[in-house]
Structure 1
Amino acid sequence: MTIIMDWHGVPQAARGATVALGNFDGVHLGHAAVLRAAHGARPELPLAALSFEPHPREHFRPDDPPFRLTGLPAKAEALSALGARTVFAIPFGATLAAMSAEAFVEEVLHQGIGARHLACGADFAFGHRRGGDAAFLAREAERRGIGLTVVPAVADAAGPISSTRIRRVLQDGYPELAAAMLGRDWELRGEVFHGDKLGRELGWPTANILLGRQLEPARGVYAVTVRLADGRVVPGVANVGRRPTLGGDPVTRLEVHLFDFAGDLYGQEIGVRIRAFLRADAKFDGLQALKDAIAADALNARRVLGVS
C-alpha cells in the first residue's frame, strides 16, 4: 500500500485506478461498502481510496476538541486491509477549500490522479462550500468518461452507520457498539512517554500515551488489548483520564497496565484496542484506596478478556 499526499505528479503506476471517495474517519462498515463498490464496478483496475488530510473539519473548525477516530497511518492501514493499493491523502487547506466542485473533478480526479471509476456515499459533498454532491459528480464524471457508483448508507437497527454515531457511543462509554459499526475494535495510538513512575511504585506499572488529535472517549477504566511495535498483542487494563486522585492533570492521558509483561516500551508507538468499559473515572481517598481499585479493575479486565 502506498500513501500519496498530492495530486500533482502522481506516478503513472498509481493512475488509472477505481477510486473510493470520502473522509473515511474510522473506516467503518459504510466506508467498507464504498470500497467494495469501487472494486466491484471495475475489478480489473487497481483499487485506490481518496481522502483528505487533515480532516476538513479540522481546517474549518480548528478550535473544536479533538475528534479523529483514526489518524492517517491507522486510516491507511484500515483502507489497505479492505484492498486499497493506493491511498491518496489530499492536503486540505485554503487552496482546496476554495476550489470549485467542477475544478476538483477536473484537476484532482481527472487530470491529477487519472481516476477511471469512482465510488462514493450518497451524502458525499465536495468543492467550495460543498457545492458538489453525488448528482453533480455523476454528470461531471460522465462528461470525462469516468464511471460512478453511488452507495446507499449502511444501516443497523439504530440507523445509518456514521463516524458521528461512532464518536458518540465512544464518548458515552460503549466501545462494543463502536466495534460493531467499525467491524473491529477501536484503537488509540501514541508514543509511550516517561511519566512520574507512580504506577510502578504502586505495583502497577503503566505505559502512558497522550491522545493528541484523537477522540477522547468516556473517561474511566477499560479492558484493552495492546498491539506492540513488534506485532505482539498483550491484554491489559487502561485508564483514560486526568488522575483526579493525584490532583488532576491539565490534559487527558491513557495509562495502560499490560498483564504479565516485562519490557521497556518508552519511545515506542503502541496501539491500545478498547474492548470494554469497566467503570467511570473516580477520585479516591488516598493512594491505598487507588491501589485497591486498580487491583479490582485488573481482575475485572482479566475476566472480561478471558485472561487467567
Structure 2
Amino acid sequence: MQVWRDSSAVPAALRGAAVAIGNMDGVHLGHRALIARARQIAAAAGGASPGPAGVLTFEPHPRLLFQPDATPFLLSELSEKLALLAATGIDAAFVQSFDRELSLLPAEDFVAEILVRKFGVGHVVVGEDFHFGHKRGGDVALLRRLGAAAGFGVTTVAPVAALDGGVCSSSRVRALLGEGRPGEAAALLGRYWTLHGIVERGDQIGRQIGFPTANFRLGQVRHPARGIYAVEAQVDGHGPWHAGAANFGIRPTVADRGDLMEVHLLDFTGDLYGRRLAVRLIEFLRPEKKFDGLDALQAQIALDIRAVREILASRPAIPAAFG
C-alpha cells in the first residue's frame, strides 16, 4: 500500500481510483465493508487489469482539533491505522491533514479542491450517513449531484449490523471497551483490540512480589475499563504472542502514577525496558481494587494468573459472523 500525504502529488497511476472515505478509527468491520466495496468497484472498472482502490482518511481525527482537551478516545493511532488499512489489500491511503482551514471549507469546495483537483477520484464509497464540508453541510445527496457534475460516481454502503442489534461503529467499540467488554469490541473490530507502547522503568514493586511487569502509557488512545485482563503480548512487532495478565489503572494499593498499563508475561524471561510492546485484550477479569498490603495483592495476583491461564488455554474466538 502506498501512502500519500498533503505534501506529495498523487501520481497519475492512482488518479481515478475508487476511494472509501472516512476517519477509519479502528478500521472496524464497517470500515472494511466500505473498503471491500471500493475494491470491487475498482476491479470492475479496470476490466482485465483492476483499477486502483484507495482510502481517504484524515489526520488528526477532527475531534482532536475541536476538542483538544477531550478524554483520550482514539482506537488506533495513525501508524497502526495505516498498518490495518494495508492489511485490507487496498492500493493507497490518502492522508488528508485536518486543520482549521479544512474545517471551514464549504462542502462544494471540499469536492472541487480535495476530491477532484487534489486526489482525482474516479469513484467514492461512503456510509449512508456521510456528511462533509463546513459544519457537516454536505450529505450524500449533494455528493451525488457534485460527483455527477465532476465526473465521479458515488456508492453508499449500509451500516454493518452487530449481534446485539445495533450497528458497527467506532463510538460503539469505544463504549464497549470502557465497559470492560473487550470480547464484544473484538466482534465489531474483527480482531482483538491491541494497545501499543514503549516499556518504561517503574518502581519495580511487581518484581519485589514475584510478578514483574512491563509498563507503558496509552497517550491519546482510548483508555479501557480499569481492571485486570487476560491478554496476549508481542515484543517489537514480530515473533510469538505471549500469554499475560495485565492491569490498567492507577494501582490503588501502591503509589498512584496515573493510568498505566502493566503487563506480566507468563513464562517469559528477558529485558523489556525500552522495547515496543503490543498487547491485545482478550477478556476482562475484575475491576481494579485496593488491597490491605502487598501480601494480599500478591495472593490475588496469583489467583488472577490462574484464571488467565484457564482463559487463554481456550482463547475465545471472534464470532464467525464478523469474519
TM exceeding 0.5: yes
Aligned 8 A contact 1:7 1:113 in 2: no
Report the Cα offset of residue 82 of structure 1: 1.3
Q: Give the Cα separation in 2 of the matches to 1:66 and 1:285.
A: 31
Report the Cα offset of residue 230 of structure 1: 4.7
C-alpha root-mean-square deviation of aligned residues, in Å?
1.4
- 2:228 is the alignment partner of 1:209: no
Quote the residue 1:6 is aligned against: 6
- 2:70 is the alignment partner of 1:64: yes
1:53 is matched with which residue: 51, 56, 59? 59
Report the Cα offset of residue 144 of structure 1: 1.2
Decide whether aligned partners of structure 1 residues 8 and 143 sit closer, same or farther in structure 2, where only a CA change above 3 A counts: farther
Q: Residues 102-160 of structure 1: CA distance to partner in whole angstroms, max 9, x if unpaired?
A: 11111111111111111011111111111111111111111111111111111123211
Quote the residue 2:34 is aligned against: 34
Letter in 1 for 2:106: S
Q: Give the Cα separation in 2 of the matches to 1:290 and 1:170.
A: 25
Report the Cα offset of residue 7 of structure 1: 6.5
SS at match of 2:253: helix
SS at match of 1:159: coil
2:112 is matched with which residue: 99, 106, 109? 106
SS at match of 1:42: helix
Q: Residues 260-281 of structure 1: CA distance to partner in whole angstroms, max 9, x if unpaired?
A: 1112222222211000000000
Quote the residue 2:249 is aligned against: 241
Q: Give the Cα separation in 2 of the matches to 1:134 and 1:160.
A: 19
Q: Give the Cα separation in 1 of the matches to 2:24 and 2:33.
A: 11
Question: Where do 5+ consecutive residues of structure 2 fail to align?
Answer: 44-49, 315-323
- 2:176 is the alignment partner of 1:182: no
Aligned length: 306
Q: Residues 74-105 of structure 1: CA distance to partner in whole angstroms, max 9, x if unpaired?
A: 11111111122211221111111111111111
Q: Give the Cα separation in 2 of the matches to 1:230 and 1:276.
A: 22
Aligned 8 A contact 1:241 1:281 in 2: yes
Quote the residue 2:22 is aligned against: 22
SS at match of 1:148: strand
Letter in 2 for 1:123: D
Aligned 8 A contact 1:66 1:216 in 2: yes
Letter in 1 for 2:2: T
Question: Where do 5+ consecutive residues of structure 1 fail to align?
Answer: none
Letter in 1 for 2:38: A
- 2:91 is the alignment partner of 1:85: yes
1:227 is matched with which residue: 234, 237, 240? 234
Q: Give the Cα separation in 1 of the matches to 2:93 and 2:304.
A: 40
Decide whether aligned partners of structure 1 residues 51 and 199 sit closer, same or farther in structure 2, where only a CA change above 3 A counts: same
- 2:203 is the alignment partner of 1:193: no
Quote the residue 2:321 is aligned against: none
- 2:290 is the alignment partner of 1:283: yes
Q: Give the Cα separation in 2 of the matches to 1:244 and 1:47.
A: 49
Q: Give the Cα separation in 2 of the matches to 1:247 and 1:207.
A: 17
Quote the residue 1:146 is aligned against: 152
SS at match of 1:160: coil
Report the Cα offset of residue 16 of structure 1: 2.8
Q: Return 164-173 or 40-49, whichever deviates more.
A: 40-49
SS at match of 1:245: coil
Quote the residue 1:130 is aligned against: 136
1:301 is matched with which residue: 308, 316, 322? 308
Q: Give the Cα separation in 1 of the matches to 2:243 and 2:306.
A: 12
